[in-house]
Amino acid sequence: MELSLRRLRTLREVARRGGVNAAAATLHYSPSAVSQQLEALSVEAGAPVLERVGRGVRLSEVGRVLVEHAEVLLAAERRAGAAVEGARQTLSAHLTVGVFPAAGAGVLPAVLADLAARHPGITLDSVEGDGESVVTDVRDGHLDLALLLDYPDAPEPWKADLRVVPLGQDEIHLAVADGSAHGPGAALEALADEDWILSGPHTYWGRAVRTACRRAGFDPRVRHHVDSSATALAMVAAGLGVALVSDLGRVFCPSRGVVVVPLARPLSRTISIAHLPHTGERPTARAVLAAFARAAGAAGLAPVEAVHEGRAGQVPTRSEAASRANPSSSGTRGT
């Protein structure tokens, strides 16, 4: 009996999603294409892998047996692929990474240029998405890697089945219209009466900013609910309210009209890259991880180690981290 690993993946997805239509949406196939793959798998197995129940379908006994063994077979395929990559004289592979907008604009170009120079045989595609969607896609094998964000004020419980590698700290600042009375060292609590431009609480950014404001004693008065950083900053330039922006997010600032000023109480977020444990065995994946680490450093992200020394709800700024590493330094600490 010869079994197609591609069809086994499809069957596994049907089992995970609970039906052909849901699996088709996840795999980006049509339901008829999924059905055809499962029919072909039934021929290979010598018995149907699905059976009808009313208007729906469920796994047959043969289907359940195949799903039980699918992980072992697919894991063996992954190990074989990693071994083949290691045996090649040059690294060559096609990988896909999930990114959030600021990383797609501020880090990914440097990663692609790095790979083109060091490992031209590696092709890296990107897919934009939020944390939950890209984590699911990594776990289900639709993405090889994914960039994640973690905010001290709203940490996310990433699952233990993922390897999460911190890349650096992205500092967060206040964005105001040119001519605003708020200057460097602005206190977050001083913004309680301002109109805010902010994404909804369904986003990590929206939750984190609201939590930081509540720690400062107020709920932000959000007048404009905007998910796009570029749109939010354009609205700041037009004088429609204030917003927060990270160092990476500055790439979306309009050429004029916005002033970015540091907060009195520093805020930052951790940028990490996640993958399944077996992905780290691939030489090509390790090369991509190294490229992201170099790009994070070139983008000026603060050292990752600083996150463990931060006060509750925040982490040290670059100057604070440097001062703690060198106690004799005369640098001042944020309040």
- What's the pLDDT at 330? 31
Give the tokens for residue 289.
């991880």
* pLDDT per position as a tens digit, 39-48: 888 888 888 8
Name the band, by pLDDT with cuts 50, 70 and 90, for residue 260.
Answer: very high
Evaluate whether 111 touches 290 at the Cβ level (below 8 Å).
Answer: no
* Cβ 309 vs Cβ 334: under 8 Å: no
What is the mean pLDDT of the segment spanning 3-28?
Answer: 81
What backbone torsions phi and psi does residue 92 show, to the nearest 5 degrees?
-150, 125
Domains and CATH numbers, the chain: 5-87 (1.10.10.10), 93-168+269-309 (3.40.190.10), 170-268 (3.40.190.10)
What whole-number distance in Å separates Cα of residue 294 and Cα of residue 292?
A: 5
DSSP state of 54: T
CB atoms within 10 A of CB 55: 5
- Please return the burial class of 232, using the count of CB atoms within 10 Å of its CB with bins 0-12, 13-18 and 19+: buried
- The answer to whether the pTM exceeds 0.85 is no
Query: Is the pLDDT at 254 greater than 80, yes or no?
Result: yes
Q: Which of 95, 94, 96, 98 is nearest to 128 (CA)?
A: 98
Buried b (16+ CB within 10 A) or exposed e, 21-30: eebbebbebe
pLDDT digit string, tens, across residues 177-200: 999 989 888 999 999 999 999 999
Angle between helices 283-298 and 108-118 (to 10 degrees): 130
Identity of the residue numbered 222: V
Buried-exposed string 257-274: b where 16+ CB fall within 10 A, e elsewhere: ebbbebbebbbbbbbbbb
Q: Which residues contact 147 (CB under 8 A, 6 or more apart)?
A: 97, 98, 99, 100, 103, 107, 134, 167, 271, 272, 273, 274, 292
Instruction: Identify residue 192 by its one-letter amino acid code.
Output: A
Mean pLDDT for 157-164 is 77
DSSP state of 263: B
pLDDT at 324: 31
- Residue 167 CA, distance from chain mean position: 12
Q: What is the dihedral of CA 313, 315, 320, 321, to 10 degrees?
A: 150
